[in-house]
Amino acid sequence: MNATNCGLPKRSPLTICRSSFSPSLNLENSPKRTNLSVSKPLHVSSIESIGKEKKPAFLCKAYEADKSQPIEAVEVKTEAAKRVKIGIYFATWWALNVVFNIYNKKVLNAYPYPWLTSTLSLACGSLMMLISWATRIAETPKTDFEFWKTLFPVAVAHTIGHVAATVSMSKVAVSFTHIIKSGEPAFSVLVSRFLLGETFPPSVYLSLVPIIGGCALAAVTELNFNMIGFMGAMISNLAFVFRNIFSKKGMKGKSVSGMNYYACLSLLSLLILTPFAVAVEGPQMWAAGWQKALSEIGPQFVWWVAAQSIFYHLYNQVSYMSLDEISPLTFSIGNTMKRISVIVSSIIIFHTPVQPVNALGAAIAVLGTFLYSQAKA
């Protein structure tokens, strides 16, 4: 638009027109009628007086043509949209995780080979992403040797945590595994404090007391307690804390998205896990167990295996998309709150017997997690 004297009645030479996109224009030495060409619409936001003569000065600001709200309002909306996005990620992550845990437990009850089950989960996710890259459904990540070098410790931690959790669920109830794994924030704080040198306020340390106490109470009163199952959940906690910390560090400065980052992680973890799975269990045990499971369950057993593998990849992929937006500690909080839905749904579906004291321990652990999140906030 073209504005003559800023589109206002002619004033004295002291009249000033200021734009948020350009310095003040002093019209003292200009002709009485000055054409000012701007590319943004103008509006008068305030009237000031300057100098001893108290001449009016008009403050003009330019807004982008497609925006009708102040910048502050746009920033607030952007922040709100980001929170909604993270909330959707978390809800999807939790729902997919519930489905995975149900089918995973069904498979392990009929086919107690956690090393092969873990390997199939990684293989399925790797195959899905390779097909997505080949068909260009997903953008192929641009990686180099340095990327894979940084990813390697993450893959080691992910592999250990994945296998340990699967071994745990093959020995005990899903609810018990997740009650113990709800202590992950305690591991996160301790690792961050003693290995990374981070410090936290006293309220954070105090919030760990009910988490640890609740997990201990639930473990002592568990009807189907198994030491291998308990230790598997504890090892998984520690491994996943390291995975989250290493992942966040590895994702900084990288052009690889969270989805592709987890896909590369699955591929590398699959390479690490496969030889160990063959050594621990072996094809002969797998073949005999497979025939037995098919004879007892029927063809639907194949669907169970496929479902647990697919949903394992999907829930982890969404969780890494969340990790793009949040810190490792916040990720641990979301991971812990997710366990509430897993614990409740597994108790209902598998008719897991729960004593009142056991339920109290789980509730205390979850309450501790809530207090921890408040202390961190």
**Per-residue 3-state assignment (H helix, E strand, C coil) for the chain:** CEEEHHHCCCCCCCCEEEECCEEEEECCCCCCCCEEECCCCEEEEEEEEECCCCEEEEEEEECCCCCCCCHHHHHHHHHHHHHHHHHHHHHHHHHHHHHHHHHHHHHHHHCCCHHHHHHHHHHHHHHHHHHHHHCCCCCCCCCCHHHHHHHHHHHHHHHHHHHHHHHHHHHCCHHHHHHHHCCHHHHHHHHHHHCCCCCCCHHHHHHHHHHHHHHHHHHHCCCCCCHHHHHHHHHHHHHHHHHHHHHHHHHCCCCCCHHHHHHHHHHHHHHHHHHHHHHHCCHHHHHHHHHHHHHHHCCHHHHHHHHHHHHHHHHHHHHHHHHCCCCHHHHHHHHHHHHHHHHHHHHHHHCCCCCHHHHHHHHHHHHHHHHHHHHHC
* Residue 59: per-residue pLDDT: 53
From residue 6, give the alpha-carbon distance in Å to each of 32, 35, 60, 134, 282: 12, 8, 8, 58, 83
**pTM confidence score:** 0.73
pLDDT 10s digit of each residue in the chain, 377 long?
444 444 444 444 444 444 444 444 444 454 555 555 555 555 454 455 444 455 555 555 554 544 555 656 666 677 777 778 777 878 888 889 899 999 999 999 999 999 999 999 999 999 999 999 999 988 898 888 888 998 999 999 999 999 999 999 999 999 999 888 888 888 888 888 888 788 888 998 898 899 899 999 988 888 788 999 999 999 999 998 898 788 776 655 566 777 888 899 999 999 999 999 999 999 999 999 999 999 999 999 999 999 999 999 998 888 877 766 776 666 666 766 777 888 888 888 888 888 889 889 988 988 887 788 778 76
The whole-angstrom separation of Cα 127 and Cα 37 is: 58
* Residue 8: per-residue pLDDT: 47
**Strand order in 55-62's β-sheet?**
22-26, 16-19, 55-62, 42-50
The whole-angstrom separation of Cα 244 and Cα 205 is: 20
Q: Which of 332, 343, 338 is nearest to 184 (CA)?
A: 332
CB-neighbour burial class of residue 100 (10 A; exposed 0-12, middle 13-18, buried 19+): buried
* Residue 336: per-residue pLDDT: 67
The whole-angstrom separation of Cα 118 and Cα 217 is: 29
* Residue 21: per-residue pLDDT: 44
* Residue 228: per-residue pLDDT: 94
**Tally of CB atoms within 10 A around 337:** 16
**Tally of CB atoms within 10 A around 237:** 24
Show Cβ contacts of residue 198 under 8 Å, excluding neighbours closer than 6 positions.
192
Parallel, antiparallel, or unpaired for β 2-4 and 42-50?
A: unpaired
CA 337 to chain centre: 12
Beta bridge partners of 48: 57
